[in-house]
Amino acid sequence: MRKLVTVRKVDAISPIPNADAIECATVEGWTVVIKKNEFSVNDPCVFFEIDSFLPIEDERFSFLAKNKITWQEKEGIRLRTLKLRGQLSQGLILPLAAFPEIMAQIDGAELADIRDHDFSGLLNIEKWEAPVPACLMGEVHGGFPGFIRKTDQERIQNLPDVFVNELNSLFEVTVKLDGSSMTVFHNDSEIGVCGRNWWLKETPENSLWKVARASRLIDSLSLLGKNIALQGELIGEGIQGNPEKLKGQAFYVFDAYDIDAQCYLGHYERHLIMDELRAYGAQLEQVPHVAIDNLRNMGSDLATLLSMADGPSLNPNTRREGLVFKKINGQLSFKVISNYYLLKYSNK
């Protein structure tokens, strides 16, 4: 799960050309525009990641009130990717001293020890998500199953150690399609279909179930009989503006999860499962493949991977959302979102 609010330190500060009142702070892989002289290098800060939804009633965020929106019947501020005076700004940093409730919890701990702790709940901050189209909603069977891992890869900006520990590791690279998360599973003779957050009942109007049925995925999973969850992206008409210009709707698989072993299958094991399902009649598509190579050959630094993220999508006339990198054994993955995409669709 994404950690929206973390305590970090300012790694660097650089000037912005032709800007007198603002400058740029670097916090790990992120660049954030700040007021001039507000921070020094190595200062601790509270970092709020993009897509954080900040409560408007918290006075510490009142300086952003002109950007307030209404989301899920609440007023607040959604942090977006911006360009200010030509400088990319992603997220928000504020002085740690402004948050005594966080300071009370960390109680003098070293930054390295609390780096991965998420304080969003403490500050009543939620992850902003686009409204779900009516065709993807429906009657809820229950919450997302606890025996399956949710699909929410970490962003590369939050994983600096990858460029230290994984340069010689073999990665599979695929296109990140802009759609809606979908999971179809078989577990102990039960078949289920889920959106991002909910296990859904089968109803005639629900697109996820209709696509799962039409692609014969329900039947083939039953015949296969293994406790497996297929996860992927539902794309097409009525979903996220249909950037791929697809006629109808289709499910593109990007992962297979072994429910019994509680782990993702590796690249080759996933392909074997999909071939078995096709033998039982499933009509399965996979997200577009880009490469299999070690990270050192593809891009050994953040700037190179961000540049690589921008390119054509499934539809060659559409620029993609980004790329997903998975170790060939399935045990580590991260996403690299195109900055072009983030800027173009920041109001989406």
Determine the Cα–Cα distance for residues 166 and 336; give it in Å rounded to an integer: 15
Q: Strand pairing partners for 286? A: 253
Q: Give the pLDDT score at 107.
A: 87
What does the buried/exposed string (b/e) look like for 74-92 if buried means 16 or more CB atoms within 10 Å of the residue's CB?
eebbbbbbbeeeebbbbbb
- What pLDDT was estimated at residue 35? 95
Environment class of residue 43 by beta-carbon count within 10 Å: exposed (0-12), middle (13-18) or buried (19+)?
A: middle
User: Using CA atoms, how far apart are residues 182 and 144, in angstroms rounded to an integer?
Assistant: 11
Among all chains, which residue has been given the structure tokens 């950690």? 3
Using a 10 angstrom Cβ sphere, with 0-12 exposed, 13-18 middle and 19 or more buried, the burial of residue 204 is exposed
How far apart are alpha carbons 45 and 24 in whole angstroms?
Answer: 14
Q: Any idea what DSSP says for residue 317?
A: T
The tens-digit pLDDT sequence of the chain (348 residues) is 689 999 999 999 999 999 999 999 999 999 999 999 999 999 999 999 999 999 999 999 999 999 999 999 999 999 999 999 999 999 999 999 999 999 999 987 888 888 889 999 999 999 998 887 777 777 899 999 999 998 878 999 999 999 999 999 999 999 999 999 999 999 999 999 999 889 999 998 899 999 999 999 999 999 999 999 999 999 999 998 999 999 999 999 999 999 999 999 999 999 999 999 999 999 999 999 999 999 999 988 999 999 999 999 999 999 999 999 999 999 999 999 999 999 987 655
Among 14, 16, 8, residue whose Cα is nearest residue 42: 8
Burial class from Cβ neighbours inside 10 Å (0-12, 13-18, 19+) for residue 72 reads exposed
Give the pLDDT of residue 172: 97
What phi and psi, each to the nearest 5 degrees, are found at residue 197? Answer: -120, -10
Nearest alpha carbon to residue 184 among 237, 138, 236, 144: 144
DSSP-assigned beta bridge partners for residue 175: 323
What residue has token string 């740690």?
Answer: 96
The alpha carbon of 157 is separated from its chain's Cα centroid by a whole number of angstroms, namely 12
Q: In which residue are the tokens 């891009």 written?
A: 299
Residue-by-residue DSSP string for 71-139: ETTEEEEE--EEEETTEEEESEEEEGGG-HHHHHHHTT--HHHHTT---TTTTT-EE--PPPPGGG---
Helix (H, G, I), strand (E, B) or coil at 305: helix
